[in-house]
Every structure is written in structure tokens, then in C-alpha cells.
Amino acid sequence: MILLFILSLLLYKRYIDDIIGVWVPKDEPTKEEVEWRVFKTLLNMWFGLEWMIIESNNTVDIMDLTVTLKDEKITTTLFEKSLNLYTYIPPHSDHPPGVLNGVIFGQIHCIYCLCLERKDIIKSISQFYLRLIQRGYQCQDVMSIFTKTIHYNSPTMI
């Protein structure tokens, strides 16, 4: 089905039940409107699912990502749902000590992968650090892991 719209669909990526697509309008508004309606109709017939389509927007949140089109440039940053409780493993759990290293490394690596702007990286890492402290971790226990992980991901950030 997607091949029918290959000239209008600049980007189409799907992960399970999440899809992101970029539709490029044509110079002929009438033909464009018909093609867009046909695309949406066929998409909603596909596997009997109903898709939520966000139209004409320069910013979209998809999964853990906010994608923004600004000045013909695409930027991305971390998207966090407002209802996220950030229930990281508490420090008194019986998990092996290395689990904290993995949690910190994984989250910081994710931040570096998803955030394209330095200010977003700094903001997200700071929020993550504060959430761990609020969860009960001691500053000295997490700071050395943060420092190593930040250095590993971006030596210029320290």
C-alpha cells in the first residue's frame, strides 16, 4: 500500500503500532486533497486498525521522542509523558550493584541518541540525576557513574 504513495510520502517508519510519516504536499491542491483522503482511508483499512493522524503540525511526540521541524531543519529531543512516575530501582533493592551502572549508562546513552541540541542533553541528564536522588540514591554513589558515562558518550560535554 505504501508504494502507491511513494512520491508523497517522504518518510514512513513503523514500530509495532506506532508510525511516523512525513507527507509532502504537491503543487495541485485538488489532486493532493484526494490523494491524502485515499491514503488515510486505505491506512485505516489496513489490518482493521484505526490510526490517529496528526495533520499539518511542526511538532509531534512519538514514543520517547519529540520531533520538530523548524526553519527546514528537523530536531529531536526526549519526550517524557506527564504521568511517568520514574520508578527507578530503589537503592535498598536486592539487585546486584552493577544494575545501577546499567540504568544510568542506558538512560544517558538514550538521552545522547535522542537529543540533538546540547541544552536538551544537559536538561535531561540533570532531571535524571535529580530523580535518582529523589528516589533515595546518594550523590556520591551516582556522580562517578554519571561522570564516566557522560565522558564515554561525549568527551566534550565535561
Distance separating alpha carbons of residues 19 and 92, to the nearest angstrom: 39
Angle at which helices 98-114 and 139-153 cross, to 10°: 40
- pLDDT tens, residue by residue, 35-66: 888 888 888 787 677 777 777 678 888 889 99
Check residue 158 and give its pLDDT: 45
Q: Give the Cα separation of 19 and 88 in Å (integer).
A: 28
pLDDT higher at 87 or 56 = 87
Euclidean distance between CA atoms 50 and 90, whole angstroms: 39
Contact of 24 with 8, CB cutoff 8 Å: yes
Mean pLDDT, residues 24-28: 80
> What is the model's pLDDT at position 53?
79
Backbone angles phi, psi at 5, to 5 degrees: -120, 25
Look at residue 28 and tell me whether its pLDDT is greater than 90.
no
Model confidence, pTM? 0.77
Q: Tell me the Ramachandran region of residue 88: left when phi exceeds 0, alpha when psi lies from -120 to 50, beta otherwise.
A: beta
